[in-house]
Amino acid sequence: MSENLLVIAEHDNNKFSTATYQLLSTGHMLSEQIKCSLSVAVLGSITPKALNELAEYGADKIILVEDEKLNQYVSDVYTHTLSAIITQENPLLVLLNSSFAGKELSATLAARVRAAVATECMAVRKTDKGFEISKFMYGSKISAKIELYGKPVIAAMQTSSLSIVKSKRAGRIVKLNISVPETKFRIVRQENNTEKIPLSQARAVVSGGRGVGGSDFSVLEQLAETLNGAVGASRSAIDAGWRPVSDQIGQTGITVSPDLYIACGISGSSQHIAGIAGSKTVVAINKDSHAPIFSKADYGIKGDLFEIIPCLTEVLKARKHSGGNAGREMEKHKTKQISQYQQLKTD
């Protein structure tokens, strides 16, 4: 059997995630360098049309396991099925998304198939002995390169840092008959919001921390809606029970890289900063002029978020409706706040 790389796909409602295409693009680039094939594992029911799209991004082979028990991610069932695929395919490298599920799955798979594993990976390259993984460590204080040996190597990637490149391949579909067991877990509650923009895909993210003071994030939600963005939260807000765990941004949560990140009432712990390192522009709003978040922000506003955010939201709404004529008012309000921030920087 020739050498190969394996990507683990994510899909929902017959649509593959952006992360899947990013992983395939990265896998294709590596396969070209190594001179090997690229496979992608797809679990659960999916339409042929959606499957064929995978070939557009470099998949030589599409491994499909159709079973209704795989239509929803459950750790033990997915681990069993994917470990069987990995054992059969014997890939050099397994790539998956470093999401909540991906981090859990990478660990359980590594234990099952006895593989070297790394999560939160920013980049991966082949070496003479194995694979070199690039990632941030200790709250993004250092950039590390870690070399993993053995076969396979499992890498959970921070897909927000990866690009998407189309590269047409054969995309041969191979259906495997794997006996999928019943899960030992019991689903207590499931929440789906198809209208909500995923944090990992949002171009604008408005995030709240301890400074919000409670579970009422309505002012942040209104601003996010105006920006066509998503709402996130710091770990302290999650621990307080103000937002669901799926909204947590940081090293132990979701890593985001939007065009605009607005941190509201967030002090700026190292683990939170690690989660927003890829953001193009960071705006911080905080009462505390000594909050660490200001040192990482491109723009900062010292003040009460409950006074600033509604004002900002109204100005942005007016600007949308007037085609930009509200820009002067926004600049007047912003200039005063930015000057305060610049003074903080100077001090």
How far is residue 154's CA from residue 83's CA, in Å, rounded to a whole number? 12
Q: What are phi and psi of 208, to 5 degrees?
A: -120, 150
Looking at this protein, which amino acid is placed at residue 179?
A: S
Residues annotated in a binding site for FAD: 210, 234-235, 248-252, 265-272, 286
Element (H, E) at 11: strand 11-12
Give SS3 for 203. coil
Please name the residues in contact with 168: beta carbons below 8 A apart, sequence gap of 6 or more: 55, 56, 58
d(CA 92, CA 81): 18
- Listing DSSP states for 53-117 in one string gives HGGGBT-SEEEEE--GGGSS--HHHHHHHHHHHHHHH--SEEEEE-SHHHHHHHHHHHHHHT-EE
Binding residue numbers: 210, 234-235, 248-252, 265-272, 286
Give the angle subtended at the CA of 230 by the CAs of 138 and 41, to the nearest 5°: 70
251 with 275: CB under 8 angstroms? yes
Q: Using CA atoms, how far apart are residues 86 and 338, in angstroms rounded to an integer?
A: 53
| Pairwise CA distance, residues 206 & 109, whole Å | 34
| Encoded tokens for 23 | 């992983």
To which residue do tokens 């460590």 refer? 137
DSSP 156: E
